[in-house]
Amino acid sequence: MVPLAFPVKRILVILIATLALSLQGCTPENQKPLQHVHQYFESIRNNEALLTAFFSEMPKGGDLHNHFSGSVYAETYWNYLLRKNPWFDTVSLVFEYDSIKRINKKGDYKRFISLPELIRKNKLPDMKQRILQVWSVKDYVDSEIPSHKHFFDSFGKLPSGGWNETGIGLQELQNRALRENVQYLELMIKGVPSDIMPENADRYTSLLKLKEYTDTVALRPVLDSLTQAFRKKQLSKDVVNFNSILLSVHNKFVPDNNAVTIRYQTYVNRRAEPVKFFRDLLLAFESAQTSPLVGGINILSPEHGDVSMRDYKLHMYMFRYCSQLFPEVKYSMHAGELTLGLVKPEDLTFHIHDAIYIAGANRIGHGVDMAYETDALTLLQYMHDKKIAIEINLFSNEFILKVKDDKHPITLYKNGNVPIVISTDDAGILRSNLVHQYVLLAKRYPQISYADIRTFILNSIEYSFIKDQALKDALYTSVKTKLESFEEKIIKNTRLHSTKV
Ligand SMILES: [Zn+2]
């Protein structure tokens, strides 16, 4: 992990000194500016502190793969919990607000301790540390439980708040982006909530589970009928309600400003049973079609879960079907977040393939199993030709899947000229940030140059799902200008220091 509280001023002094040393006697005045930066960058490639200072200063454009609930840090959830005056189970670390629920935990109720009691016994700091360890990867010890289990279980343990808490979390992410020199966040915010179910839901369930569909032709009549059934129940009302709350929360807590722009993806949960999954997909597509703030949609939850694996192809066909109903809606898909050992080898061969060829994904999230995919080289060429970007989440892949260094397929994507963006995934649960991702990128992959990184940064705006083209163009120009200023600063500091030396 990058030391988060490193004294930045001191690092910058070291950075400038190293910069001067590295360029002494080797930088002709007429050399192109990018070459200066490139030389300096190469000279610090193996120094994590210098890289951290470099990337902290560097404008990083957008973070396009960013789960809102996993990006807010556990300390913020903790503060929210304290405001609710909870009782804590001192053994399991679950909490309750309601005394009846606590007493109903048959025999275990004696393990609960109230907040005032914790404070009186001076045990609140200890409880906080223990809770942070289960809500995030803080102090995680490898041998306790599998890292992917620890990671995914964390989400279920976080206290869930209302839209007001969402607004507070959004402010935290916007402020962090500002400090970290990130200009755009595309947040996977929530699924559109609904409890509408069609008449004869069981019949639809059995029709959808009846066989393994191999094309949309056989599936279409079932989905047509199901779409009609949901529309009869006025599914759109839930979309209108969701979009309107999102708009008012956005305008209240994180209105558009010149420093950081936020847009959203809504999503579907791949663990849901087929009828619910399809309902949520219709809701997500309609939300993205009608809200100015929802740029696209996504599909989440562990890809290796039983339902996710069983229904993978069905989900892909459902995406394809909905994309025909809502042709303007864009979507990124978590696909290939798998590795050898986590699933059977044959299950590593088709997830990215199907997300692209069947579902028609505009971007792929993770894509870690690319090396195992059937005819990977053709798939990479297709991604290049169709400009389907890959969202690379280095630290997430390292922690959850144990895939890092040359096990990671980033070089495959790079060699295939697939558009790459660098993102965080769940910076809060992973106790990470976007600077950390770039540091890992620079340290681990010497074949990726400063010019490549510059392209990745501009990609993060170009491949974003911002709908308003004027806003997107303005953001692109602004990030480009900021990059040029950053490069000039590096060069200027180098020259100043060289003269003094
Ligand atoms: Zn993700």
| 358, 332 Cβ separation under 8 angstroms | no
Residue 261 token pair: 């722009």
Name the region of 113 (left: φ>0; alpha: ψ -120 to 50; beta: rest): beta
Q: What is the pLDDT of residue 107?
A: 56
Whether residue 94 is found in the same domain as residue 174: no
**Ligand 1 centroid from CA 426, angstroms:** 7
Tell me how far apart the terminal alpha carbons of the chain are, to the nearest angstrom: 34
Query: Residue 429 C-alpha to ligand 1 middle, in angstroms?
Result: 12
391 and 494 both lie in a single domain: no
- CA atoms within 13 Å, Cβ hemisphere of 308: 20
* HSE-CB of 321 using CA atoms within 13 angstroms: 24
Same domain (yes/no): 269, 126: no
Rounded distance from Cα 300 to ligand 1 centre (Å): 7
Answer whether residue 145 is part of any domain.
no
Task: Report how far ligand 1's centroid is from the alpha carbon of 397 (Å).
Answer: 10
Are 35 and 175 part of one and the same domain? no
CA of 64 to the centre of ligand 1 (A): 10
Q: Is 140 exposed, middle or buried (0-12, 13-18, 19+ CB in 10 A)?
A: middle
Per-chain residues with Cβ under 5 A from ion ligand 1: 425
Q: Which among 238, 182, 185 has a CA at the least distance from the CA of 67?
A: 185
* Residue 349 included in any domain: yes
Domain region containing 454 = 163-467
CA 500 to ligand 1 center in whole angstroms: 48
Q: Among candidates 296, 189, 179, 299, which has minimal Cα distance to 250?
A: 189
The backbone torsions φ and ψ at residue 367, rounded to the nearest 5 degrees and listed phi first, read 55, 35
DSSP 8-class letter at 430:
T
Amino acid at 345: P
Residue whose token pair is 């890289």? 51
CA of 357 to the centre of ligand 1 (A): 21
CATH code at 369?
3.20.20.140
- Report yes or no: 155 and 69 within 8 Å, Cβ to Cβ: yes
pLDDT score, position 245: 98
Q: Note whether residue 148 is domain-resident.
A: no
Ranges of the chain with pLDDT below 70: 1-32, 98-108, 143, 210-211, 495-501
Residue 262, in any domain of the structure: yes
- Which pLDDT belongs to residue 5? 40
pLDDT value, residue 64: 98
How many angstroms is it from 333 CA to the middle of ligand 1? 9
Residues linked to residue 268 through DSSP beta bridges, in sequence order: 299
70 CA to centre of ligand 1 in angstroms: 9
Is residue 482 in some structural domain?
Answer: no
Where helices occur in 184-260 by DSSP H, the ranges are 201-209, 216-232, 236-253
117 and 258 in a single domain? The answer is: no
* Whole-angstrom distance, CA of residue 347 vs CA of residue 297: 24
Q: Are residues 261 and 403 in the same domain?
A: yes
Q: Are residues 360 and 229 in the same domain?
A: yes
Q: CA-CA distances (angstroms) from residue 319 to 5, 195, 366? A: 43, 21, 19
Rounded CA separation 102/267 (Å): 33
Report how many domains make up the chain: 3
395, 431 Cβ separation under 8 angstroms: no
If you measure from the C-alpha of residue 188 to the centroid of ligand 1, how many angstroms do you get, rounded to a whole number? 9
How does DSSP assign 36-81, residue by residue? HHHHHHHHHTT-HHHHHHHHHHS---EEEEEEHHHHS-HHHHHHHH
Assess whether 114 and 200 both reside in one domain: no
Going by C-alpha positions, the residue among 15, 4, 146, 5 that lies closest to residue 489 is 15
CA of 424 to the centre of ligand 1 (A): 8
Residue 223 lies in a domain: yes
250 in the same domain as 120: no
Tokens of 387: 């400009």
Contact of 93 with 136, CB cutoff 8 Å: no
258 and 336 both lie in a single domain: yes
> Are residue 108 and residue 227 in the same domain, yes or no?
no
Q: Are residues 230 and 316 in the same domain?
A: yes
pLDDT at 101 (0 to 100): 59
DSSP 148-164: HHHHHHHHHHSPP--HH
On whether residue 175 sits in a domain, the answer given is yes
For residue 126, what are the CA distances in angstroms to 73, 129, 135, 422? 18, 5, 14, 36
Phi, psi of 362 (to 5 degrees): -85, -30
